[in-house]
């Protein structure tokens, strides 16, 4: 007997929903994640952020969404392997064995990869070298440490504007710095930030940080010429991140632009290996949490037949017999 029926690699929203759904299908399930906590990028990067695209929730905080998903996944009685990375994959006659970085091997009837964007690391801010943990951070897991402080946020994407919007009522002042006039963030969020006291400085870069042991001020240079010093006891470098598939890219999966190519059944190019969520690629792919949930159900239902050929792809509705 394999150690488990389904091994889920990735404990973000899609992986947690897949875990629940595997339990609904009567499958034993184990979950591996390289992070020490459940919730994936939401837990690591934006637990306080409001999420708007999950069906049935007009607005839900990241941490609350994760808490609900964890409680839902608990109904499957999963075995979690956290703070461990999946390194190797080996096919046997009727199972797949995945080796972890601590030497553990897990044999499963099928594997479901829900690893989001893979392993990620923040893009560095050249002027911020040596300041991490001394006033500069890459993520904002909690707003409380910024209360009453002058905060500078660097970036023009969704994270930068979301954090500016949420920190504005907490901080003493917020300055958002971006190197261009145009922003990558959602237009509605941009307009919301513009309606607040946040000062937006464009065509600009943070060129120096100052402080004795801890950040006290930053230099912001506009158009490469005019430099102004702003008070700042905290700075968030929200410049995005660099992601790669890590060890998964050596498993022989068909990959396109750092994403795993899947069939309509969510099966990858490898037998007994499925994928769902942001890591997948197929024509018309849309990377939303809500889409990942549907892909997770599709993947689990098709994996169930691979694990047990006598099973059916369609399991019936969860409300039947209630």
Residue 322, pLDDT score: 45
Element (H, E) at 66: helix 62-74
What torsion, rounded to 10 degrees, do the Cα atoms 7, 12, 13, 16 define? 30
| Nearest-angstrom CA–CA distance, 214 and 233 | 8
Residue 314: alpha-carbon gap to chain centroid: 29
Confirm whether residue 263 is marked as ligand binding: no
Confirm whether residue 319 is marked as ligand binding: yes
Confirm whether residue 19 is marked as ligand binding: no
Which domains does the chain show, CATH number per domain? 4-120+241-307 (3.50.50.60), 124-237 (3.50.50.60)
Question: What is the tens place of the pLDDT at every residue in 96-128?
Answer: 999 999 999 999 999 999 987 766 678 889 999
Confirm whether residue 146 is marked as ligand binding: no
Confirm whether residue 14 is marked as ligand binding: yes
The first and second tokens of residue 262, run together, are 């899947």
pLDDT, averaged per 10 consecutive residues of the chain (322 residues), comes to 91 97 97 89 78 91 93 98 94 94 96 82 89 91 92 93 93 97 91 97 97 96 95 94 81 92 97 96 95 98 96 79 48
Confirm whether residue 120 is marked as ligand binding: yes
Question: What is the tens place of the pLDDT at every residue in 203-227?
Answer: 999 999 999 999 999 999 999 999 9
Confirm whether residue 20 is marked as ligand binding: no
What torsion, rounded to 10 degrees, do the Cα atoms 297, 299, 300, 302 define? 120
Let me know: does 48 contact 61? Beta carbons within 8 Å: yes
Confirm whether residue 196 is marked as ligand binding: no
**Helix (H, G, I), strand (E, B), or coil: what is residue 189?**
helix
Let me know: does 212 contact 134? Beta carbons within 8 Å: no
Q: What is the pTM of this model?
A: 0.76
The first and second tokens of residue 36, run together, are 């020490």
| Nearest-angstrom CA–CA distance, 102 and 258 | 25
- Pairing type for strands 226-231 and 234-237 reads unpaired
| Nearest-angstrom CA–CA distance, 84 and 189 | 36
């Amino acid at each position: 007997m394999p150690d488990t029926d389904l091994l889920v690699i990735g404990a973000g929203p899609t992986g947690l929903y897949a875990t629940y759904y595997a339990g609904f299908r009567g499958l034993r399930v184990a979950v591996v994640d390289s992070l020490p906590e459940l919730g994936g990028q939401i837990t690591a990067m934006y637990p306080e952020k409001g999420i708007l695209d999950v069906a049935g929730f007009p607005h839900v905080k990241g941490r609350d969404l994760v808490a609900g998903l964890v409680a839902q996944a608990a109904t499957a009685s999963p075995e979690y392997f956290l703070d461990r990375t999946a390194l190797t994959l080996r096919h046997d006659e009727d199972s797949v064995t995945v080796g972890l970085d601590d030497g553990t091997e897990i044999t499963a009837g099928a594997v479901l990869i829900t690893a989001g964007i893979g392993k990620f690391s923040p893009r560095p801010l050249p002027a911020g070298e040596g300041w991490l943990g001394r006033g500069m951070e890459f993520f904002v897991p909690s707003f409380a440490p910024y209360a009453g402080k002058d905060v500078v946020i660097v970036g023009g994407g969704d994270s930068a504007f979301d954090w500016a919007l949420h920190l504005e009522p907490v901080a003493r002042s917020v300055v958002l710095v971006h190197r261009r006039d145009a922003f990558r963030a959602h237009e509605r969020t941009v307009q919301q930030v513009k309606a607040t006291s946040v000062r937006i400085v464009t065509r600009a870069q943070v060129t120096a940080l100052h402080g004795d042991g801890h950040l006290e001020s930053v230099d912001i240079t506009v158009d490469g010429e005019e430099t102004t010093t702003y008070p700042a006891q905290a700075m968030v470098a929200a410049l995005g991140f660099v992601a790669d598939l890590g060890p998964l890219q050596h498993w022989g999966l068909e990959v396109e632009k750092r994403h795993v190519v899947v069939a309509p059944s969510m099966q990858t190019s490898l037998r007994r290996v499925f994928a769902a969520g942001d890591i997948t690629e197929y024509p018309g792919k849309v990377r939303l949490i809500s889409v990942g949930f549907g892909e997770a159900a599709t993947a689990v239902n098709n994996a169930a037949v691979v694990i047990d050929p006598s099973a059916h792809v369609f399991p019936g509705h969860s409300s039947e017999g209630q």
